[in-house]
Amino acid sequence: MSEVDPCDWCEEVLQPYLDRDLNETDVEKVKMHLNGCSWCEKRFKFETDLRRLVRQAAVEPMEPALKAKLAALRLEL
């Protein structure tokens, strides 16, 4: 059996971990590792912040003119 490098393993499970798609045993393993490894911890923090940036990427609001056009598409009574 070859030993998997714990940092490599954490990189592999980063996305399922943040998606809450990892089983409890593995979640505990990740937490234990992150507690003692600032190298991985920074990278996990970065991924979380990056997701926030992506969420904010489409906040440019819609033009009021478009809203009016959509309302005008309503069917005639």
Partner 1 sequence: MSETSPEEARRIAQGARDRVHFEEEALALADQVYRVARGVSRSKEEAEDLMQETYARAFRSWESFTPGTNLRAWMLRILTNLNIDRGRRAQRTPDQQPLEEGDYFLYNRLEAASGESDEERILERLSQDHVAEALAAVPHDFRDVLVLVDIGEFSYAEAAQILDIPIGTVMSRLHRGRRILKQQLAELAVEAR
Residues that bind partner 1 (CB under 8 A): 8, 11-12, 14-16, 19, 21, 42-43, 45-47, 49-51, 53-63, 66-67, 69-71, 73-75, 77
The nearest distance, CB 68 to partner 1, in angstroms, is: 10
Q: Could you tell me the smallest distance in angstroms from the CB atom of residue 28 to partner 1?
A: 20
Q: Which one, 3 or 19, has the nearer CB to partner 1? A: 19
Dist. CA 26–CA 4, nearest whole Å = 14
From residue 58, give the alpha-carbon distance in Å to each of 33, 54, 61, 65, 67. 34, 8, 8, 18, 17
d(CA 31, CA 44) in angstroms, rounded, equals 11
The minimum distance between CB 38 and partner 1, in angstroms, equals 9
